[in-house]
Amino acid sequence: MRRCAYRPVVLVFCAITCAAAAGCRLNPVTGSRELALVSQQQEIALGHQTHPNVIFMYDGEYHDPELNRYLGTIVMRLHACSHRREMPMEFTMLNTSVVNAFATPAHVYATRGFLARLQNEAQFAAVMGHELAHVAAGHTAKQLSTNLLTGLVLGVAGSAAGDSTGSRVAVGLGEASITLLGLSYSREQERQADRVGAYYMALAGWDPQQAIEMQRLLASMSQRRDTVLDRYLSTHPRTDNRVMEIQNVVQEKDLRSNRYVQGDGTYAERWDRRLGELRSIDRTFGPHDRGMELLDKSDYAGALSAANESLDMRADQPPFHRLKGDALLGLGRLAEAQAAYLEALAQDRRYVPANTGLGFVFVKQGKFAEAEKEFAIAAHGFPGSVAAHYGLGMTRYELGRYAEAVAPLEAVAGARPNDPDVHYRLAVCYDRTGRPADAYQSYQRALQSGLTGERKNHAQRRVRELEPLVSA
């Protein structure tokens, strides 16, 4: 029977119409109805799913329970003033020098680099108020709804074109959570978050003038070409517009009146006292951050020297030991690398990037069973880690456990579509587990991605042998 070429188009527009009709809900911030195809429960589930990925995309949690209690109390005080105070909320500090703060549903994050640079408590309240406003105004849900519909279109169109790539990419790696991290808000949404965030901080007792001072602080850091600011500045509008937006709402709602501001409204002394230790630790990350750049350039000796420089200042930071391990691994000093990774885990046994490093040490030693255990821990702790999934798939492949190697390798193949090694290993796994059609396709992908040597000959032979089976 002939297939109607426009059937997918009709399907998509029916889906959009139904979704739009069913998905409008009241925005508690503005009181107007807006499209939202994602329920609050779904939002929260996605936020939780994203959480471990966020932590390790930013190099782990910054552990200081007392500071967490202080900052978390500030966040919860702001959240109690928000339009969605019924939503559960967790505050997490991230142990990176990158300057950033952001929220996902039910989670709000601030980096060590950002906290070290803020001048007082009110500026922190301004940053957190802004992020809580994104959650309250449903910006995340709205972006997800758009992505959902766009994905629907691509999915229907892809299936109409007979493309199985979509389903393959969807395997593993917590794709939805990675999508959530990649979301960026429109300028209009950022401006709304500025207005609403200033309102929240005033309701909670801080002086909203500090929201303006915080913008000026960011602008001055930006003029000094502070590279760690890149991420935050690239996702937020220019300072002038933001200052004007905040000034407008302060005036409209009279937010600097005694009705709102409590005490001096800034609490700089309290902030300096509480943040002293974090600022001191932040300074020891200078050589480490330089070492990470050297590692990227495969300058292992330079990276090792930088790691040792940081370790001479403090030995309790897992990322310093991990950098040392990575550098030693690059230099082929496996026993020392293993010791460095184990020391990182001794400092924080949840620091799974060290498990990935240990896995690669064991791989180089030919100890695949031990390596597999480390990669399994790493993939469990950091579901978005391509390296951990690659290690897991590769070690299972080497151990001849082809059926178990399929899922992690499929996940990596989605993330690295042009990696011939991954496609070849996946093809062999399909081949050995009775999936000739998938094997045929993966051998072809491996060849198209530039497979070389003996594997190339093997792949070409298997493509020829499998072709009659597949075409039949």
Partner 1 sequence: MARVVPILVLAVMFCTQVGCTISREIVDVAPPVQPRLENLEQNLTYTDPDEGRPDYIFASR
Q: Which of residues 213-252 bind partner 1 (CB under 8 A)?
A: 249
Q: How far is the CB of 172 from partner 1 (least distance, A)?
A: 16
Residue written as token pair 């009659």: 468
Residue written as token pair 């370790």: 311
Q: How far is the CB of 263 from partner 1 (least distance, A)?
A: 5
Q: Which residues within the stretch 146-185 sit at the binding site for partner 1 (CB under 8 A)?
A: 146, 149-150, 152-154, 157, 160-161
Q: CB–CB of 25/33 below 8 Å? A: yes
Q: How far is the CB of 148 from partner 1 (least distance, A)?
A: 9
Q: How far is the CB of 112 from partner 1 (least distance, A)?
A: 17
Site residue total, partner 1 (CB under 8 A): 73
88 binds partner 1 (CB under 8 A): yes
Q: Which residues within the stretch 302-341 sit at the binding site for partner 1 (CB under 8 A)?
A: none
Amino acid occupying residue 346: A
Stretch that binds partner 1, among 69-77, 234-242, 299-307, 320-328 (CB under 8 A): 69-77
Near partner 1 by CB under 8 A: residue from 22, 80, 315, 369: 80
**Nearest 5 degrees, angle CA 174-CA 176-CA 181?**
100
HSE on the CB side for 209, CA within 13 Å?
9
Q: How far is the CB of 72 from partner 1 (least distance, A)?
A: 3
Q: Where are the alpha helices (DSSP H) in 80-120?
A: 112-117
Question: CA distances (Å), 86 to each of 135, 140, 455, 456, in order?
Answer: 12, 17, 57, 58
End-to-end CA distance of the chain: 20
Nearer to partner 1, 142 or 462 (CB): 142
> If you write DSSP's letter for every residue of 369-383 in order, what string do you get?
HHHHHHHHHHHHH-T
User: Whats the size of the chain, residue-wise?
Assistant: 472
113 binds partner 1 (CB under 8 A): no
74 binds partner 1 (CB under 8 A): yes
Q: Which of 276, 359, 348, 357 is nearest to 315 (CA)?
A: 348
351 binds partner 1 (CB under 8 A): no
Near partner 1 by CB under 8 A: residue from 42, 116, 205, 268: 205
User: Which residues are CB-neighbours of 432 under 8 A, at least 6 positions away?
Assistant: 402
Near partner 1 by CB under 8 A: residue from 73, 257, 365, 457: 73
Q: Which of 238, 237, 124 is nearest to 186 (CA)?
A: 237
Residue 110, helix vs strand vs coil = strand
Nearer to partner 1, 301 or 369 (CB): 369
Nearer to partner 1, 17 or 220 (CB): 17
Q: Which residues within the stretch 22-41 sit at the binding site for partner 1 (CB under 8 A)?
A: 28-32, 34-35
Q: CB–CB of 383/364 below 8 Å? A: no
Stretch that binds partner 1, among 59-67, 217-225, 319-327, 454-462 (CB under 8 A): 59-67
Q: Which residues within the stretch 391-450 sit at the binding site for partner 1 (CB under 8 A)?
A: none
Q: How far is the CB of 245 from partner 1 (least distance, A)?
A: 9
Q: How far is the CB of 312 from partner 1 (least distance, A)?
A: 27
Q: CB–CB of 261/201 below 8 Å? A: no
144 binds partner 1 (CB under 8 A): no
Q: Which of 372, 374, 344 is nearest to 358 (CA)?
A: 374
Near partner 1 by CB under 8 A: residue from 4, 14, 18, 69: 69
Nearer to partner 1, 75 or 101 (CB): 75
Q: How far is the CB of 121 from partner 1 (least distance, A)?
A: 8
Stretch that binds partner 1, among 94-102, 193-201, 279-287, 420-428 (CB under 8 A): 193-201
Instruction: Residue 471: count other Cβ atoms within 10 Å of its Cβ.
Output: 7
DSSP 8-state symbol, 365: T
Look at the alpha carbons of 38, 40, 45, 51 in this order and tell me if their dihedral is positive or negative.
positive
Q: Which residues within the stretch 118-137 sit at the binding site for partner 1 (CB under 8 A)?
A: none
Nearer to partner 1, 141 or 292 (CB): 141
Nearer to partner 1, 203 or 439 (CB): 203
Q: What token pair was written down for 404?
A: 């178990």
Q: Which of 188, 191, 199 is nearest to 215 (CA)?
A: 191
Q: What token pair was written down for 132?
A: 């809580």
Q: Which of 143, 123, 139, 180 is nearest to 29 (CA)?
A: 139
Q: Which residues within the stretch 358-397 sit at the binding site for partner 1 (CB under 8 A)?
A: 377, 380-382
44 binds partner 1 (CB under 8 A): no
Q: CB–CB of 88/417 below 8 Å? A: no
Nearer to partner 1, 60 or 113 (CB): 60
Q: How far is the CB of 346 from partner 1 (least distance, A)?
A: 10
Nearer to partner 1, 187 or 279 (CB): 187
